[in-house]
Structure formats: structure tokens, C-alpha cells
Amino acid sequence: MISSDTTKPNSDPYIKTIAMSCPKIKIAIIGTGLIGPRHAQAVQEEDEAELTCIVDPSPAAEAVAVRLGVPLYRTIRNLINSNDRPDAAIVCTPNHTHVALSEELLDHGIHVLVEKPISTDIVSGQKLISRPARQNLHLLVGHHRRFNPYVRAAKSLLEAKSLGRVIAICGIWGVFKPASYFEEPTTWRRYAASGGVILINLIHEVDILQYLLGPIIRVHAEGTINQRNFEAEEGAAIILRFASGVVGTFILSDAVTSPWSFEHGTGENPTIPRSGEAFLRILGSDASVSLGDMKRWSYDEAGPSWTNIIQAEDVIIKPDVPFKLQVKHFVNVVRGEEKPVCSAEDGLRALIVCEAIKRSITLGKPINISDITNT
């Protein structure tokens, strides 16, 4: 069995005393839809953070505020003019509102963790991360899967060169979203500009791949059959090339019956039953690893050859809750104790790859990432 636990406990009592003496970081949650309450719970469970309030104009937000035991404000302006002004905020609103709300918070000197995608188009994303108002402020992007123990285990294996040279990857994200997923108040998910499975879901997978293997430099994608007849795409088959020379394929669909997705494989989302099935395979010269079932495959002592016995070892992971780890990290970044694990620039890079995939589907040809970033 292979252990991925590389954490080292801090035994210095002086450092612990300083940490305990720091005031809690006050955090507001902006938006109480699907993901906002999960962030709010993570904040409330973090000893070094305080959930000051939530901001949401929806009537449904009142019940959420009561359940959490915090004040509710209808707008960020109302919050700024109140006694509950936070140090930081987590933006959990519909995709097309991310930029405007993040800008408003940054303009008032509030650190921001914005849910992915950082924006729905490249130009507004570039504008957001270059704002002068961000001076001495932090803007992070909520690609929380960088904190997932399955991803961290894979990262540790790669950093230790446990697979030898990585040659290729094979990924899949296949689920079946019910009709209710696209109904009010989230009909924005039906439209190409703000919704669709690429911006909502694939962007997570792209970020994971670039976090593990470095920049993607070229994509070629073919769209799947559209069964719902919404404007937004339902999936694609994608070929990827990385700057390192690694190549890969990825199958994407939110309209298929399948146990093969990040959520099914890891059980991270409590509303989606865990299957434990592999959703990503990383193939190396010395060994390969599959995420989901967490198996590292290698030949026996006879060495690499297809005629030799190939065997599997379990990769042992340390269970933890990514949202909790992300909040703890956000607190430490605001305090100046850590550098962002997922910066605004990282979030924009994932968005650019997703835009390239969309263009490839539309134009029916490969798209170089540099052709997008240079336009």
C-alpha cells in the first residue's frame, strides 16, 4: 500500500500561541443557491473564521439565514454600510454574475474567493484579475478539488516520480442531470453563454489536469448528441495536448447513465452516491494510477514487459473535506501565511482551455491555446 499523507504537524508552541492569538477572519457568503450553504457550513466549522452574514436578494435566502443563525443582506452595498462588514467573502452566485460581484467586493477592500468559473468570458476575466483595486488584496478561485484527498494523493505520486515519465491520460465525466437541474431559479444553466456542462463541470476537470500535469496547449473536440434541445452543450469527446508532451482523451456528458465521474468515484458530493469507479487514469513509463478506485499499477520484479505480471497496489488517502480545507487555506492566505493554491490566474487558465474546447466544437478543428490568449 502507498501512503499519500505527507503532512508534518507543527510542534512549535510559540507558533501555535501566535496563531491562537490572531483574530478570526470574518467571512460573508454571497449567494445561497446550490453551493453557498456548503461554503457557509465550512466557514462555521473553521475555528479561525467567523460567518458574519449571507448576501442574497432571493426570498428563499431568509430560511437559509435563519438556519445558519446569521444576518441576511439583500445587496453587497447594504452589507458594506452595516456593522457586519467582513474581511473576506465567498462568491457563490450564478456564473455570469461572478465578475461584477467580485469587483464590487474588491472595490471595498474585501478579499474574495469566487466560485469557478472566474468569469464566463476571457476578456472580463482578464479585466478582473488586473484591477488596480486588488492591490494588497487576494482573489482566489474556488476550484476546491485541488484540496480533495484523491487529487492530493495523485499529486504526491507525481511529485515523487512514482509513475516514471507520464505519457498519457484518459478521463471521463458522465452523469445524468434531472430536468429539475435546469428549472427556475437556475434556467441560466440552459444557455451557452453562462451554463452548459463545459463551464459548469468540465472546468473542474481541466483545472485538475493542469494542476497535476501542467499547461494544456492544444485541444480538439467533437460535441455529443443534444438530447434536451437547450442552447447549451451536453458533452464532448476531447483530445488534449500538454506542454510537457503528455497527450490525453476526455469524454464528457451530463446526459448519460454512468458511474464514471469525479463525484461518483470519490463520493465528495453527499447528494451523489459513491460508486468508487475510476474516472481518471494517468499512464506512466514505470507505473500507472487510476483515480476513484485509487490503484497504482506496475509490473512485478521482472520489470516492464507486457508478458510479465502486472499488479495493483492500493493508494491510501487521508480522508478530509475539501470545502473545509479550502476555507482554512483562504483564512491563511488573507492573513498572509500562505500563497494561493488556486490563484485568479489559475482560474483564468482553466477558463481559457474551456473556451478553446467550445471553439473547437463550433469550428470542427484543433485549437491552440496560444491562438486564444494572443487575440
CATH number of the structural domain spanning residue 18: 3.40.50.720
Let me know whether 45 and 187 are in one domain. no
* Residue 47 in domain: yes
Let me know whether 105 and 194 are in one domain. no
The pLDDT score that the predictor gives to residue 20 is 53
Let me know whether 56 and 72 are in one domain. yes
Residue 64 has pLDDT above 50, yes or no: yes
Q: Quickly list H helices, the chain.
A: 13-21, 36-44, 61-68, 76-80, 98-107, 122-129, 149-159, 196-197, 203-213, 262-266, 322-334, 344-363, 369-373
Let me know whether 150 and 134 are in one domain. no
The pLDDT score that the predictor gives to residue 133 is 52
- To the nearest whole number, what is the mean pLDDT of the chain? 92
* Residue 1 in domain: no
Residue 356 has pLDDT above 80, yes or no: yes
Which structural domain range is residue 38 located in? 8-143+326-339
Planar angle of CA 144, 145, 151, nearest 5 degrees: 145
* Residue 344 in domain: no
The pLDDT score that the predictor gives to residue 102 is 96
* Residue 179 in domain: yes
Let me know whether 185 and 302 are in one domain. yes
Q: For residues 255 and 235, give the distance between their C-alpha atoms in angstroms, rounded to a whole number.
A: 8
- Which tens digits make up the pLDDT trace of 118-140? 999 999 999 999 875 567 899 99
Let me know whether 167 and 286 are in one domain. yes
Residue 349 has pLDDT above 80, yes or no: yes
Q: pTM score, two decimals?
A: 0.89
* Residue 191 in domain: yes
Let me know whether 194 and 209 are in one domain. yes
Mean pLDDT of 365-369: 97
* Residue 345 in domain: no
Mean pLDDT of 207-211: 98
Let me know whether 177 and 194 are in one domain. yes
Residue 168 has pLDDT above 60, yes or no: yes
Domain count, the chain: 2
Let me know whether 161 and 306 are in one domain. yes
Let me know whether 166 and 99 are in one domain. no
CB burial of residue 57 (10 Å; 0-12, 13-18, 19+) = exposed
Let me know whether 28 and 131 are in one domain. yes
The pLDDT score that the predictor gives to residue 1 is 65
The pLDDT score that the predictor gives to residue 14 is 43
Residue 5 has pLDDT above 60, yes or no: no
* Phi then psi dihedrals of residue 46, to 5 deg: -95, 120
Let me know whether 172 and 55 are in one domain. no
CATH number of the structural domain spanning residue 182: 3.30.360.10
* Residue 3 in domain: no
* Residue 275 in domain: yes
Q: Taking the C-alpha atoms of 20, 25, 26 and 27 in order, what is their torsion angle to the nearest 10 degrees?
A: -130
